[in-house]
A = this chain, B = another copy of it.
């Protein structure tokens, strides 16, 4: 059994990790790290865990952590940086859910996060934890920067067009809609029920940090520097991101042809489901699962592809992807603990 530590276990990404790990046949939770709830049973904080996992939350104790094989760090932005070097020194592998270790170029990080990076040498070592693109590197990594939710959805939605060189790299537009779990569990008026329900809004237009992750990965695939529009929206549901991606093509095509291209590109990927031509994905098809569903339309009038990509932001967009990465790190079948269908209801 893989011994895991979940640090930041009582946030929404953290508790989803706990939920997935309690259902994982090859891994067990040794440490439930939570600053806010240290000393309380996880089953008192999240009462769905009664009779399932009644372990106590605790402050991070590095000596104790040293007995684990891997740590998931689902900490508030900035907190990861101070903890992760110590965990690595203690011999653990680390899967970090923050943005700190997702960049090839420290300058990009510092520009979009507006601060100095505290361990740029680790940033060089870390691997971007998107298995569908970087599986081989992930297997050998010590530190994984687990991608953001918007990012995974957007990159996987656009990648085949760029890899196949049919996309014009200017004028790529990604319009993304996210459920409210994406905003985390912190107290904010704007996330209260009466403010959120029956409401949709855009936010952080032209400046959301995930833009830089998406540009990094798509540029790598395209082999040229891509800049694009990314617009996040908040919609009144808990789980789910749906990204609508507009890409001008450099030659005429058809919905069928593009669908085939996607099917071919993802033919070995269990967690990517390409919809048949004429069929579109919906967030409810993926909620609660580690799948990404992608549907493609060709707009003949405009020689433009419109791709719809969807995933569960706290599973494939956070906790599920982290487990997928753990499976790779430890030589397990990538699907272990993740092969359930979505909830649908």
Known contacts A192-B185, A194-B185, A227-B301; decide if A51 and B235 are in contact (CB<8 Å): no
**Is there an interface contact between B205 and A280, defined as CB atoms closer than 8 Å?**
yes
Contact B173 A236 (CB under 8 A): no
Chain B residues contacting A246 (CB-CB under 8 Å) are 173, 175, 229, 246
Within 8 A of B (CB), among A66-86: none
Contact B198 A239 (CB under 8 A): yes
List the B side residues contacting A340 at CB < 8 Å: 19, 22-23, 52
Contact check, B194 vs A180: say whether CB atoms are below 8 A apart.
yes
Interface flags, A170-207, vs B, CB<8A=1, else 0: 01010101011100010111011111111111110110
Copies in the complex: 4
Segment at the B interface, from A91-99, A257-265, A285-293, A322-330 = A285-293
Most buried by B among A48, A185, A188, A273: A48
| Residues of A41-63 contacting chain B, CB below 8 A | 46-53
Complex CA distance for A181 and B345, rounded to whole angstroms? 8
A205 pairs with B306, CB closer than 8 A: yes
What residues on B are CB-neighbors of A180 within 8 Å?
193-194
B197 touches A193 (CB 8 A): yes
Does any Cβ of B come within 8 Å of A342's Cβ? Answer: yes
Tell whether, in the assembled complex, residue A200 and residue B240 are in contact, meaning their CB atoms are under 8 Å apart: yes
Residue in B53, B200, B240 whose CB lies within 8 Å of A341: B53
The distance in angstroms between the C-alpha atoms of A171 and B249, with both chains bound, is: 12
Assess whether A281 is interfacial by the CB under 8 Å rule.
yes
A238 within 8 A of B: yes
CA distance in complex: A299, B172 (Å) = 13
Residue contact A205 to B173, C-beta cutoff 8 Å: no
Most B CB atoms within 10 A — which of A50, A196, A240, A281? A50
- Are A306 and B231 interface neighbours, CB within 8 A? yes
When chains A and B are docked, how far (Å) is the Cα of A239 from the Cα of B201?
A: 13
| A202 in complex: contacting residue of B188, B196, B231, B244, CB < 8 Å | B244
Partner of A242, one of B53, B200, B285: B200
Tell me if A250 is interfacial: C-beta within 8 Å of chain B.
no
Is A291 a contact of B51 with CB atoms below 8 Å? yes
The reply to whether the CB of A302 lies closer than 8 angstroms to some CB of chain B is yes
In the complex, besides A177-B177, A198-B238, A200-B283, 9 extra interface pairs with C-beta distance below 8 angstroms are A12-B345, A16-B345, A47-B282, A52-B341, A173-B173, A185-B194, A192-B192, A199-B237, A202-B308
Q: A residues engaging B (CB < 8 A)?
A: 12, 15-16, 19, 22-23, 46-53, 171, 173, 175, 177, 179-181, 185, 187-189, 191-203, 205-206, 227-229, 231, 233, 235-240, 242, 244, 246, 248, 270, 273, 280-289, 291, 293, 297-302, 304, 306, 308, 310, 314, 339-345
Name the 8 nearest CB pairs between A and B, nearest first. Answer: A48-B342, A206-B299, A193-B196, A201-B282, A175-B175, A199-B284, A205-B297, A47-B285
